[in-house]
Amino acid sequence: MKIPTTPPSEYPTGKLKPNFFAALNERITELNSTGADIIRLDIGSPDLPPAPHIVEALTLAASRSDSHGYQSHRGTAALREAWGKTYQRLHGTHLDSETEILPLLGSKEGIFHLSLAMLTPEDAVLVPDPGYQTYAQGARFAGAEPFAVPLLPANDHLPDLSSIPAEVVQRAKILWLNYPNNPTSATAPLHYFTQAVDFCRRFDILLCHDAAYTQVTFNGYRAPSVLQAPGAIDVAVEFNTLSKSHNMAGWRSGVLAGKSETLTALLQLKSHADSGHFFAVHEASTAALNEDQTWIQARNAVYQERRDAVISALSEMGFAPQVPKASLYIWTPLPNSWDSNEFVLALLEAAHVSLAPGSIFGSHGEGFVRLSLTQPLERITEAMERIRSKLHILTTKEKDNVHY
């Protein structure tokens, strides 16, 4: 199995390349059918449940006879107000719940659809490399050109905006940022967001910040919102989600907050693309945002314990993992100049541990792998032992002895 490397012009749909995880899932299914026990550390889907009061709110709302019809694309007023209060509580920002907050069917849906709402074939889109694939895929689907902006360790995985060619900046319509970052787990200080806001104002670029991991933090770190930067409301929007913050990945409940004109454009597209969300999810999301938040700190402590176990084990094996202050991931360079795709597939076959190769996130992800913290500690510990036991094969690159 190899990651597809088909040029964009030859993608089967003409616009979208095949999804790596779809191909990976097929191979894992084959291995499972033979009795193999695969430990999956490749996807960031929380393994812990939401707090009980969130599930109770969903159950209560779903039991109502009047909750099963179509809902407004703008969600309920209570949900919009709850998001506004959350931004005030976490970041000290004041948002108008009528014009500056738009609930989404998860942030991924909004990220993809925003490209369709805002872009034309003449536009360029500044996307982080390595970065979440949907930024570039949405641009391609809209006919625009993604331009990769490197996230280099030497610059703390922050895009050097001054290095972007002037001709690209002149065509740029959107700048994508994502902190805490997927896949690198890097964080951005507020002063960097201020610089990015100034850059986008100067060149009339929409700043889109993906803030999915701002509430998954460790050791007292507090992740800022781009909307805290002075003047951000005029040039920026922020995507947020309950998927990671409240363990509600499958519920598909997110939000777009910020520049009202951008929200209006997305709302217009969504009125053609979907029919709103389930009322019970709106009610449960409102409860998630408004009611007890103390359980999140306890949940983060679980992730932190897992993080520390992975960092310790990988360091003992000779890797050089970066210790994250936030997110669900460990990002580490590979030993012995391995190709990340080959390493991940060899590890899957030899140790039955599945990781994400850095190359799927962009060319600057090559030579790295991403490990997710979304397995119980005992499974993570077992995965580390399996990697340790097979490392002599992987680090000596005896590929002929590993069939994949």
Return the CATH class of domain 52-290: alpha beta
Contact 391, 385 (CB under 8 A): no
User: CA separation (Å) from 6 to 13, 14, 15, 33, 146?
Assistant: 12, 11, 11, 29, 16
pLDDT of residue 397: 53
pLDDT tens per residue across span 262-302: 999 999 999 999 999 999 999 999 999 999 999 999 999 99
Between CA 401 and CA 124 the distance in angstroms is: 45
User: Domain limits of the chain?
Assistant: 8-49+295-401, 52-290
pLDDT tens per residue across span 343-402: 999 999 999 999 999 999 999 999 999 999 999 999 999 999 999 999 877 666 544 444
pLDDT tens per residue across span 203-253: 999 999 999 999 999 999 999 999 999 999 999 999 999 999 999 999 999
Domain 8-49+295-401: which topology?
Aspartate Aminotransferase, domain 1 (3.90.1150)
Between CA 252 and CA 241 the distance in angstroms is: 8
pLDDT tens per residue across span 92-132: 999 999 999 999 999 999 999 999 999 999 999 999 999 99
Between CA 199 and CA 205 the distance in angstroms is: 8
pLDDT tens per residue across span 157-188: 999 999 999 999 999 999 999 999 999 999 99
